[in-house]
Amino acid sequence: MRAGRDAAIARHRARRDARTNAAVDTQRATVRRAPARRAARQALRRSARRFHGRRLLAALLALPVGLLGCLTTWIGRRLNTPWLIHPGRRLYRRLAGTAADQRAARDAAIREELAEQEATADTQAAEDGTEGVGEQVQRPATEIPTHTTTEASEGEHVSGFQFEEAAAEMEQAASQYDPENAMEILAMVEGLPAALTSVANVMKILAERSDSEFPLEKEVADGFNDIFGALMSAVAVAEDMGPLFRQAHEQDIARHEDPRNGHEAEKGWNV
């Protein structure tokens, strides 16, 4: 009876773990490929803008030729000369067709690069072992009865990792943050990727220890690993914040980093 019970429990756990693995793998793949897909979408948008710009330029170039074609079309029909008929329309079609072909080639190259980046990300994840977190959980051969009779004595020191306390301190520091100038904010923004990477590494460490040291189910380790992947996606977004900040405040930053005739002279423009 004990052997039959253990076999039934093992089968149930195997089916549950298979379902969980399928869902987790799908979510992991989405998170892992998110930066590459975001970059590909931006590249495709730039390609579309370039295509429409080329079409607009083709229309501008074909406009005077089309006006001239109002005269040459009548002459071409009289003289049975096809190249004089609708020259503006034919010029626009040729230029727009070339732009469309170039856009199709660019889009194909972008999609091919995206596929390569996704394959590289999957390979790196497999090599780093992040996809295997939660697979090393060891179970006993049989069910072991547990007795929760231990009681903590009064005044006993219990060591632990209070992540919420550190997060609460960071939240309080953010609410009381009073920068001296905007350049200090820029330094903080450019340090965000490193800070978020440290927070993500906390989840990675918890996932690895839950997998190898703590007496937890594999779903818990997978949950920590999913949080790690989501935070790494936030790191990718944070890496774009620094260039965005510098682009939006290019002139303001130039006054600090490259002041005209020194900082004292530049202060003359302060309002």
- The model's pLDDT over 182-202, given as tens digits with 9 standing for 90+, comes to 888 888 888 888 888 888 888
- What are the residue ranges spanned by the domains of the chain? 23-132, 161-271
- The model's pLDDT over 63-114, given as tens digits with 9 standing for 90+, comes to 888 888 888 888 888 888 887 888 888 888 899 899 999 999 999 999 999 8
Instruction: State the DSSP H helix or E strand holding residue 229, giving kind and residue range, or none if neither.
Output: helix 218-248
227 pLDDT higher than 70 = yes
Q: Are 161 and 207 in contact (CB under 8 A)?
A: no
Determine which of 119-133, 213-227, 238-252 has the lowest per-residue pLDDT on average.
Answer: 119-133
Cβ count within 10 A of residue 190: 16
What six digits make up the tokens of 14?
Answer: 């195997």
